[in-house]
Amino acid sequence: MGKLFELVPNISEGRDRVIIDRCAEAIAQTSGARLLETDPSEDANRTVFTVLGDAASIEEAALALAKTARELIDMREHSGAHPRIGALDVCPVVPLKNATTDDAVRLARRIGERIGEEENAPVYLYGDAARDERRRRLADVRKGEYESLEREIAKPDRLPDYGPASFDPKFGAVAVGARKLLLAFNVNLNARKVAFARDIALDVRERGRPARRENLHTPLYSQRGPILRYRTGAYPCGQCGYVGRSIEQTIAHAREKHMVDLERALRLAGVDPNKPEGAAARKPGSLKATMALGWALPSRGVTQVSMNLLDLDVVSPGLAMETVRVKARDRGVVVTGAEIVGMVPRDVLTDVGRYYLRRQGDRDEASDEEAIVVAVHSLGLNDLYPFRVEKKTFTY
């Protein structure tokens, strides 16, 4: 059996239809590559493509897209709500059928090497393909974004993995990586102020937030008094009044009492758990394997908690939705629905439908079609625009 991969490249253009179409053509004309979806966002000013294929066709599709993006997109003119570092901003490879993470890493590195050479462009490896642990997280690779590249690119710890270590004002740089199948899942709020979406995002993301004294009761956690800090001999829990005498005690307390991995949250926040003194006490978020931020979608008049669900075996869209719903209700905010960015494997949606049916104690065997209907309604996927199952889902 052949190995099947998914490629989910994002370009920094979400408004100019001519450029978007030319990039889509570059992918679609690659022999063996199946372009499943082209998903432009005006507010983010970026477009997400979903491509399926074997290793050879994925490699060629990525190269064709890099070449076209280099030709047509000029980063000097780019602005948008989403973090980005270059014209072809990110290019992740996902192992699907018969393919392992190692296969995806090899493929990603080959693509990165070729973009570096053939397009003479700076390339960073991230995710499972990273050669340096500090480049595993995309947010770290994109730190400072395009605007800081000129200043940063020649610094020893920011040197590209492939291509020239010099600033390319038109193209910027590209992050090529390998990762698990992830879901970009945005929950819509009825709040006008983006502060609510940001506050909820910090509550749910695995990395969490600095803990505060919760003596004031205001809808926004970020307004609840000063930040708590760890001091030698006093390590406050971010979630209750407990104060450990060592960080180990507080980590054990957090695991037993709140069922959260404080050590991991500290690491994700860049705090060394062996030397946390002086750092803000951490309040880990409630969802594992989740990144989140809050933003506004002016073109739709809504604010969103925008999440990346990094491991669907650990965090499902249903669980993410229900967690955000509780946090929103606590703040007097209503969740009106959600959107899935890009495409989703059909079995992810049927699982969501069955999750909601189980919550109702409905044990009757639901067909896949019935489960999908339940999922679409439960998540409110028709809130901003009609969710077309046949266009948004794929099977492989």
Q: How many residues bind Zn ion (CB under 5 A)?
A: 5
CB closer to Zn ion out of 233 and 298: 233
Strands (E), 179-318: 183-189, 209-210, 235-236, 243-244, 282-283, 290-297, 302-309
CB of 322 to Zn ion, least distance (A): 23
CB closer to Zn ion out of 202 and 293: 202
Nearest CA to 333 out of 223, 224, 219, 202 is that of: 219
The Cα 108–Cα 115 span in angstroms is: 11
CB closer to Zn ion out of 1 and 259: 259
Considering only 139, 154, 240, 334, the residue that binds Zn ion (CB under 5 A) is 240
63: β partners: none
CB of 255 to Zn ion, least distance (A): 10
Q: Which stretch binds Zn ion (CB under 5 A): 43-51, 105-113, 232-240, 290-298?
A: 232-240
239 binds Zn ion (CB under 5 A): yes
Coil/strand/helix, residue 235 = strand
Site string for Zn ion, 337-376 (x = CB under 5 A): ----------------------------------------
In the residue annotation, 82 being an active-site residue is answered as: yes
The Cα 42–Cα 376 span in angstroms is: 24
Please report which helix (H) or strand (E) contains residue 39, including its range.
Answer: strand 34-41
CB closer to Zn ion out of 190 and 249: 249
Sign, CA torsion 199/201/206/207: negative
β-strand 393-394 against 183-189: which pairing, if any? unpaired
Residue showing tokens 């432009």:
40
Q: Which stretch binds Zn ion (CB under 5 A): 93-101, 113-121, 124-132, 251-259?
A: 251-259
How is residue 26 written in tokens? 């570059």
**86 Rama sector, left if φ>0, alpha if ψ -120 to 50, beta otherwise:** beta
CB closer to Zn ion out of 242 and 394: 242
CB of 237 to Zn ion, least distance (A): 3
Q: Which stretch binds Zn ion (CB under 5 A): 37-45, 118-126, 181-189, 249-257?
A: 249-257
99 binds Zn ion (CB under 5 A): no
Considering only 27, 191, 237, 381, the residue that binds Zn ion (CB under 5 A) is 237
Q: What is the residue-wise DSSP string for 106-140? A: HHHHHHHHHHHHHS---EEEEETT-SSGGGSSHHH
Residues 254-293 within binding reach of Zn ion (CB under 5 A): 257
Q: Which stretch binds Zn ion (CB under 5 A): 26-34, 137-145, 240-248, 303-311?
A: 240-248
234 binds Zn ion (CB under 5 A): no
10 Å CB burial of residue 137 (0-12, 13-18, 19+) is middle
Considering only 180, 219, 242, 380, the residue that binds Zn ion (CB under 5 A) is 242
From 82, 217, 253, 258, active-site residue: 82
**289 Rama sector, left if φ>0, alpha if ψ -120 to 50, beta otherwise:** left
CB closer to Zn ion out of 156 and 241: 241
Binding-site ranges for Zn ion (CB under 5 A) = 237, 239-240, 242, 257
Q: Which residues are catalytic?
A: 82
